[in-house]
Structure 1
Amino acid sequence: MQRHFGFNPHRARHGRGGMSGLGGPHGGGHGRGGGGRPRLGRFLEHGDLRFVLLALIEAAPSHGYELIRALEERTGGAYRPSPGAIYPTLALLEDEGFALQSAGEGGRKLYAITEAGREALAAQQPSVDAIFARMSSVGADDAGRDKVRRAMENVKTALRLRLARGASDAEAAAVAAVLDEAAGKIERL
């Protein structure tokens, strides 16, 4: 018997379980820093991530990385959903006819809401508004450190995505130079 621990993209894509976009097989979420800080997993029930993403792409068509950053920013860095939660949920929204994708900048998939998605979102708007209100209160403490953590995670994700697409020696050298320059500036603060 083969066991699957963690995220199962087939199950998530077809609405039969997976991680519900909460960062763990039991919906625990990603807390940042611990120490009694509220975890976003409490605020998202099964299926909530779908409507949160719909609300974000209704405001502006976005690609997955932008949505990850938007959710992280809304929680002051307390929660950063994984690509393994975001992209299957976007695929599910597309399968349901609630979102469409098109080619965006740099070959990334850009997601936009459909009319059916707007109707589904309108039916869930009070819940989505309540989730966004709770998100903005999560991680309100230590805002300065959370901003730095968020920025660090943004850099890590951008590097992973960039390197996954491949980089020439010149591009790798340019990335290293940017990082070295940033490190120097931070040391001089």
Structure 2
Amino acid sequence: MRHEQHRCGVDHGRNHGRGFAARGMMKMMMGGRGPFGRGFGDFGGGFGGWDDESGGRGGRGGGRGRGRMFAGGELRLVLLRLVAEQDRHGYELIKAIEELTGGEYAPSPGVVYPTLSLLVDEGLLAEVAGEGSRKAFTVTEAGRAELAEKAGEADALVERLKAFGEQRQRHSSPPVRRAMHNLKVALGQRLMGGLDDGVAHQIADILDEAARRIERL
């Protein structure tokens, strides 16, 4: 009798633990804090999402230093290089960097525009009339001189952005991203409605089985 009570207690504890883990894992996938910390990958913050000196956001890996795309002063040089190619306004510069990375990274306007203002203050860029109310930027002689001195570094930065985009695209899969997004949406809908232990156990079983099948591929 005591043995049966002990076994029932163990089973109850195991099931309760699975329910807790399932709910925690789903919260983690949605970007919240689960039993193992913040979310991961496409499901939220954590693994892979990173910031840089520009406050931009990119893919789920790479970067410099502690997940930085640009080290100090590198964004400034990239912007100078892009404006030297042709006059551009701030949004066009953000899009140009995004295009260099194949859409995998875009710097934040919150630091791009102050960096452009700094380049103007330094006499390396000048403001010119743009389309409508937008002001564009053009490179000055002083800017071209600095760019000539740092041509090798500027070229390397541009190539690094291109390589980052190519690497990300090689290691990403649109069908897998779509499926991960669908899973995130489905889990989010279930979490909003609340979960009892029975449903949590069923979801945990489905996710466990999916993980096992993926491992066997």
- Shorter-chain TM-score tier: 0.5 to 0.7
Residue from 112, 120, 130 that aligns with 1:94 = 120
Q: Alignment partner for residue 103 of structure 1, among 117, 129, 142?
A: 129
Residue in 1 aligned with 2:11? Answer: none
Is 2:58–2:105's contact at 8 Å kept on the other side of the alignment?
A: yes
Higher-Rg structure is 2
Secondary structure of residue in 1 paired with 2:105: coil
Question: Residue 101 of structure 2 aligns with which residue?
Answer: 75
Q: Matches of residues 1-20 of structure 1 in structure 2 within 5 Å? A: none
Q: Which residue of 2 aligns with 1:139?
A: 165
TM-superposed deviation, 1:83: 0.7
Are 2:116 and 1:84 aligned? no
* Structure 2 gap ranges (5+): 1-50, 175-217
2:62 to 38, 57, 62: 38
- Give the secondary structure class of the aligned counterpart of 1:39: coil
Once the two structures are TM-superposed, the CA of residue 22 in structure 1 deviates from its matched residue by 2.7
Structure 1 letter corresponding to 2:129: A
Shift in CA distance, 104/82, structure 1 to aligned 2, threshold 3 Å: same
Q: Deviations over 1:141-166 (max 9, x none)?
A: 43785xxxxxxxxxxxxxxxxxxxxx
Q: AA paired with 1:78?
A: E
Query: For 1:59-84, what per-residue CA distance to the aligned partner results, in whole angstroms no more than 9, with x for missing partners?
Result: 00000000000000101122111111
Matched-pair contact (CA < 8 Å) for 1:20–1:85: no
The SS at the match of 2:126 is strand
| Deviation for aligned residue 1:125 | 1.1
Q: How big is the shift at 1:53?
A: 0.6
Query: Deviation per CA, 1:56-112, whole angstroms, max 9, x where unpaired?
Result: 010000000000000001011221111111100000000000000012101101000
Q: Secondary structure in 2 aligned to 1:93? A: helix
1:121 — aligned with what? 147
Deviation at 1:45, TM superposition (A): 1.6
Sort the Cα spacing of 1:38 and 1:20 in 2 relative to 1 into closer, same or farther, 3 A: closer
1:12-66 residue CA offsets vs partner (Å, 9 max, x unmatched):
xxxxxxx97431xxxxx5222x1xx323654522111111111101000000000
C-alpha contact (below 8 Å) 2:120/2:127 kept by paired residues:
yes
